[in-house]
Structure 1
Amino acid sequence: MLKKLDKTMYSEWVIRNSLYWMSAVTRWKLDEDNEHWLISFEPFNDEIEFEFERLLNDYKLREKLQAHTGQVRASIIDNVLRSIDSRLSQ
């Protein structure tokens, strides 16, 4: 089974993270052309397709959340590191 996904819909990060977790379920191969991710699964059935779609949706949501919270997370990390540095230099 060959699944063809538009690159404008899914980033490489989303595809690779989803496929990583699919490794426990089925064998897969990832290829690409200029416009699509080309993924083949062996074997392929409805359960595998459902699981892959679930993972794609999950990682696409995670990607959106990371984009919206990136600045806040970076600020928190910077503050924690400054606090640690301040305590160490005392």
Structure 2
Amino acid sequence: MQKNILKTMYSEWVLRNSLYWMSSIAHWKLDEDDKYWLVSFEHLNDEIEFEFARLLNDYKLREKLQVHTVQVRTSIIDNVLRSIDSRLAE
């Protein structure tokens, strides 16, 4: 059973993270062409399809949050590294 997903809908990061978590409940294979991610599931049923959709939505939201918080996260990392550097210099 194959699902063709437009590449404009989900990034590779979203798709691969979702499929990683699908590994515990379904065997899958990922291919691609110019326009689509081609996801094949060994046995596709409602449970698998709903879980895959849930994971895609979850990781799409995570991706959006990462874009909006990148400056804050970078600032926190820089401050922590500066603090460690100054403690090591003492």
Normalised by the shorter chain, which TM-score bucket? over 0.9
Aligned-pair RMSD on alpha carbons? 0.4
Q: Quick one: distance in 2 between partners of 1:10 and 1:52?
A: 13
Which residue matches 2:63?
63
| Offset at residue 22 of structure 1 (A) | 0.3
Q: Percent identity?
A: 77
- Please identify runs of 4+ aligned residues in structure 1 that moved more than 6 A: none
Matched residue pairs, number?
90
For residues 47-68 of structure 1, the C-alpha deviation after alignment (integer angstroms, 9 at most, x for no partner) is: 0000000000000000000000
Code of the residue aligned with 1:25 in structure 2: it is I
Structure 2 runs not aligned, ≥5 long: none
Which residue matches 2:32?
32
Code of the residue aligned with 1:71 in structure 2: it is Q
| Offset at residue 39 of structure 1 (A) | 0.2
The TM-score, its normalising length taken from structure 1, stands at 0.98
Which residue matches 1:10?
10
| Offset at residue 26 of structure 1 (A) | 0.5
